[in-house]
Amino acid sequence: MKMFAVFGNPIKHSKSPIIHQLFAQQTGVLQNYRKIYVPINNFYKKFFYFFKNGGIGANITIPFKKRAYKLCDILTKRAKYSGVVNTIKILNSKKILGDNTDGVGLLKDLQNLKFINTKSNILLIGAGGAAQGIIYPLIKFGCNITIINRTYQNTKKIIKFFKNIKNINSLKEEDLFSISNKFKYNLIINATSSSIKGNIPNIPSSIIKPDVFCYDLFYNFNNTPFLKWCIIHGAKRISDGIGMLIEQAAYSFYLWHGIMPNTKIIIKKYKKYN
Ligand code: ATR
């Protein structure tokens, strides 16, 4: 049976194996997909061990997406332009192909939710691999993105990475606080890992207008701390990242098997909001 896995830290609560199992059942594909916990400094060792022992594809999650990018022989356009890889496929030539399905997966979910249009003004919170991985498809779609992050130095690194791309700019946290009334964002995306430890990023509540869409890349059983905070401050349309997770998984599945699963049924099963 073809072997696949998701590599990450933490990984215990990952829903990827169950999503891929549902795709496999739906499409009749036979595959074995499991979680692999990777100690922070052991990514390369675990990665090559898996592929030397029959693995043919993998998803890569927090915090290894930038490291995965570096070890690919070939990159898809969307991986190359984002600088991070969340999907690996071993080609017949044994070369490592890297793709990034996070950005397209998020865009698809935002479109399903009607949270986005080609003129959306987006406030993107966070400047790590997760944030970097979703920027390119959103800009290509036509949106404007403003990045804000706890550490401004990391914001500057992302801006530098996308230096040839228009429609992307940054703000310091304190600037967003001092001029928040001047800005109107249509969509606020939390791409920080703050929810993992039950924290929320530091943004002014005045940017939460009743018609703003609030999206957290993170997901858990209840609303994430960020989404709870948005609701308290008046947000009416919110979503966690479960739809994105399912959509990005579908693009990975397509890369591996050439079959696009039907995501709608699975999203309906898992999503708290419609
Ligand atoms: P990932 O690859 O998942 O994005 P990462 O590269 O470690 O992981 O980045 C995590 C992001 O979450 C960063 O933007 C980080 O902010 P810093 O650049 O200041 O470290 C952000 N983050 C993590 N915990 C946070 C918290 N409690 N409040 C605000 N931002 C937080």
Which of 167, 263, 188, 168 lies closest to 231 in space, CA to CA? 188
Ligand 1 centroid, distance to 194 Cα (angstroms): 6
Q: Which residue spans within the chain are E strands per DSSP?
A: 2-8, 31-37, 55-60, 74-75, 87-90, 96-99, 121-125, 144-148, 168-171, 187-190, 213-216, 237-239
Read off the amino acid at residue 63.
P
Cβ–Cβ contacts within 10 Å for residue 177, how many? 14
CATH of region 2-100+245-271: 3.40.50.10860
How much distance in Å is there from the Cα of 211 to the middle of ligand 1? Answer: 27
What would the two tokens of residue 126 be? 């966070």
Q: Whose CA is nearest to atom 20 of ligand 1?
A: 151
**CB of 201 closer than 6 angstroms to any ligand 1 atom:** yes
Alpha carbons 241 and 216: distance in angstroms, whole number: 6
Q: What DSSP state is assigned to residue 62?
A: T
d(CA 162, CA 210): 31
Q: Is 236 a catalytic residue?
A: no
pLDDT tens sequence for the chain (274 residues): 899 999 999 999 899 999 999 999 999 999 999 999 999 999 999 999 999 999 999 999 989 999 999 999 999 999 999 999 999 999 999 999 999 999 999 999 999 999 999 999 999 999 998 999 999 999 999 999 999 999 999 999 999 999 988 899 999 999 999 876 777 899 999 999 998 889 999 999 999 998 999 999 998 778 999 999 999 999 999 999 999 999 999 999 999 999 999 999 999 888 765 4
Domain residue extents for the chain: 2-100+245-271, 103-240
Catalytic residue among 12, 35, 46, 65: 65
**N- to C-terminal Cα distance for the chain?**
36
The minimum-distance atom of ligand 1 relative to the CA of 126 is 14
Class of domain 103-240: alpha beta
CA 131 / ligand 1 centre spacing (Å): 9
pLDDT at 116: 98
Closest residue by Cα to residue 20 from 218, 219, 250: 250
Choose one of 60, 67, 70, 150 to mutate for the ligand 1 pocket test, by most ligand atoms within 8 angstroms of C-beta.
150
Tell me the angle at which helices 263-270 and 242-257 cross, rounded to the nearest 10 degrees.
150
CA-angle at 17, arms to 9 and 44, nearest 5°: 40
User: How far is residue 10 from each of residues 36, 61, 63, 130, 163, measured CA to CA in Å?
Assistant: 10, 9, 9, 15, 32
Tell me how far apart the alpha carbons of residues 24 and 225 are, in angstroms, rounded to a whole number. 33
pLDDT score recorded for residue 272: 60
Query: Does ligand 1 lie within 6 Å of residue 241's CB atom?
Result: no
Place of tokens 């929320």: 200
Helix 102-113 with 263-270: angle, nearest 10 deg: 70
DSSP state of 95: P
Neighbours of 18 (CB within 10 A): 13
pLDDT of residue 180: 66
